């Protein structure tokens, strides 16, 4: 869990099981965020100007949640929005995830993290929760009863708790 210390310092304390779960989740998230079209047939000018992003929303609901339509009612505007923004957004997500993953390398159980690392952790945890929530079909208007003993719900609740401790430590 994240804690605030004197002088505005933040610490993260995890046991071995939490470290294993988070490391595995970060690895899986990294695989999910890999851009399958990153090098194949890309226009060099479009790539240089970072305009080589996809124009189609992903068929994977989790990726569609991470990279939603910018203009739900306008297919052409949505395609342009996606082409011009998705690569940057993907890069930001990958960078935040990499920062969070790096803090777990050579883990000793408790570590201080910088303010920037904390913000990257916040982004990475939020993205993990979005993906897991999508996989579990959690929505604002879900009326279904969730099995509280379902492993996915335990994991979702743990990530929510961890993110909450980080928000509390930052405020």
Residue 58 pLDDT > 50, yes or no? yes
CA atoms within 13 A on the CB side of 11: 11
Range of the domain at 103: 2-170
From 101, 67, 68, select the one nearest 87 (Cα to Cα). 67
Q: What is the pLDDT of residue 100?
A: 94
Q: What is the pLDDT of residue 44?
A: 63
- The domain tally of the chain equals 1
- C-beta of residue 90 within 8 angstroms of C-beta of residue 35: yes
59-85: average pLDDT: 85
pTM for the predicted model, two decimal places: 0.82
Q: Is the pLDDT at 159 greater than 80, yes or no?
A: yes
Distances (CA, A) of 83 to 36, 88, 156: 15, 10, 31
Proportion of the chain above pLDDT 70, given as a percent? 83
Q: What pLDDT was estimated at residue 132?
A: 94
């Amino acid at each position: 869990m994240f804690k605030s210390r004197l002088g505005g310092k933040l610490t993260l304390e995890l046991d071995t099981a939490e470290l294993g779960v988070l490391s595995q989740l970060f690895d899986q998230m990294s695989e999910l965020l890999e851009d399958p079209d990153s090098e194949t047939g890309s226009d060099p000018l479009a790539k240089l100007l970072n305009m080589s992003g996809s124009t189609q929303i992903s068929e994977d609901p989790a990726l569609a949640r991470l990279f939603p339509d910018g203009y739900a009612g306008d297919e052409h505007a949505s395609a342009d929005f996606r082409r011009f923004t998705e690569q940057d957004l993907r890069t930001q997500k990958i960078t935040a995830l990499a920062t969070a993953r790096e803090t777990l390398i050579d883990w000793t159980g408790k570590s201080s993290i910088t303010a920037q690392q904390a913000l990257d952790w916040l982004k990475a945890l939020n993205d993990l929760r979005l993906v897991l929530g999508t996989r579990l079909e959690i929505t604002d208007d879900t009326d279904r009863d969730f099995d509280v003993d379902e492993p996915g719900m335990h994991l979702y609740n743990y990530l929510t708790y961890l993110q909450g401790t980080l928000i509390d430590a930052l405020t």
